[in-house]
């Protein structure tokens, strides 16, 4: 059954690499994500069809790419803000930190710091706070949205 997975992987490899490249914006990292995804799957799953193999490969490549992006831990909370480099990156980080301190609720600050800065999983944070994981995700999402909106308002409408 690993043969179907291997054959499907070889057949759709370029499409998978493009998918990883969209997430990672780096051809070398995309190639690494492809290989990591294949190694994770090979020999562990009994794939019955090419369609199943394609879906499994696509999902795994996407997840591995997102995991890699999270490991990089660039400037937290920035999301889709314009890219800034070098000295500007440090200034951006300080701006974002100041907004975290002044614009968020205490709960949102705690969740942001534990998740973005300390790398604690949302499930673990939920357990620590006695909350349901979806509620923690919602608070994190609202906090990120607040930071993005405040950043745009303060630094891009000048």
pTM: 0.47
Decide if 30 contacts 21 (C-beta within 8 A). Answer: yes
11/152: higher pLDDT:
11
Return the ∠ at Cα 106 (arms to 104 and 108), rounded to 5°. Answer: 55
Query: How would residue 157 be classed by pLDDT, with cut points 50, 70 and 90?
Result: low
pLDDT in tens, 51-67: 998 998 989 888 888 87
Whose tokens are 């059954």? That residue is 1
Angle 55-65-40 (CA atoms, 0-180°, nearest 5)?
60
Q: How far apart are the first and last CA of the chain?
A: 59
Q: Which CATH topology does 2-72 take?
A: Rna Polymerase Sigma Factor; Chain: A (1.10.1740)
Position 75 scores a pLDDT of 42
pLDDT tens-digit profile of 64-105?
A: 888 777 776 544 454 444 554 444 667 777 788 888 889 899
Identify the pLDDT of residue 1: 43
CATH of domain 87-155: 1.10.10.10
* Residue range(s) in the chain whose domain bears CATH number 1.10.1740: 2-72
Radius of gyration, CA atoms only, the chain: 19
List of residues 6+ apart from 124 with CB closer than 8 A: none
> Mean pLDDT across the stretch 138-155?
85
> CATH 1.10.10.10 region(s) of the chain?
87-155
Residue 3 buriedness (CB in 10 A; 0-12 / 13-18 / 19+): exposed
Give the Cα separation of 84 and 78 in Å (integer): 10
41, HSE (Cβ side, Cα atoms, 13 Å): 28
User: Which of 77, 73, 71 is closest to 92 using CA atoms?
Assistant: 77
């Amino acid at each position: 059954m690993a043969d179907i997975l291997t054959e499907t992987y070889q057949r759709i490899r370029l499409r998978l690499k493009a998918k990883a490249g969209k997430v990672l914006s780096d051809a070398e990292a995309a190639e690494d994500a492809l290989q990591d995804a294949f190694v994770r799957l090979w020999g562990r799953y009994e794939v019955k069809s090419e369609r199943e193999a394609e879906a499994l490969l696509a999902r795994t490549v996407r997840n591995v790419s997102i995991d890699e992006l999270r490991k990089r831990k660039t400037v937290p909370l920035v999301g889709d803000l314009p890219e800034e480099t070098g000295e500007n990156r440090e200034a951006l980080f300080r701006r974002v930190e100041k907004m975290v301190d002044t614009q968020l609720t205490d709960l949102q600050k705690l969740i942001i710091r534990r998740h973005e800065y300390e790398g604690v999983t949302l499930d673990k944070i939920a357990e620590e706070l006695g909350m349901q994981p979806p509620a923690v995700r919602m608070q994190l999402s609202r906090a990120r949205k607040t930071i993005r909106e405040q950043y745009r308002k303060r630094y891009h409408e000048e």
